Amino acid sequence: MAVFVTACVHHVGGACMNALALPLYGASPSAGVCRVCAHYDGPDRGLGDTVHRVARATGVARVVHAIAGVDCGCAQRRADLNAAVPFDDGSTKEP
């Protein structure tokens, strides 16, 4: 049986505690959901997370959301960049 390990701060005791992700994935997401969750908050999984973190820290994300609205495509670009350039630190391995 594979055990999924995630470093997301919202994943506690096998359950998701993020109020924004709960409607999308439920309280007990299946293995691997944290790898693609747009609300993931933990160590960078790939280049998309790094760009997201820098955009939030510099205020660029706030400006983009003010101009383009909430559905600006950032979550999909983040997922695409994570898939194209993943960082493998061993924290999301399934044994």
Domain count, the chain: 2
Tell me the pLDDT tens digit for each residue of 47-79.
999 999 999 899 998 898 889 877 788 888 998
Tell whether 95 is covered by a domain: no
Asked whether residue 28 is assigned to any structural domain, the reply reads yes
| Two structure tokens written together for 15 | 């359950």
Query: Are 3 and 38 found together in one domain?
Result: yes
**Is the same domain home to 48 and 80?**
yes
Q: What is the percent of the chain with per-residue pLDDT over 90, rounded to a whole number?
A: 21
- Structural domain that includes position 58: 44-89
**Spatial CA neighbour of 61 closest among 86, 80, 38:** 38
Residues 61, 71, single domain; the answer is yes
Domain membership of residue 18 (yes or no) is yes
CA distances from 12 to 2, 7, 64, 66, 75 (A): 18, 10, 31, 32, 23
Amino acid at 54: V
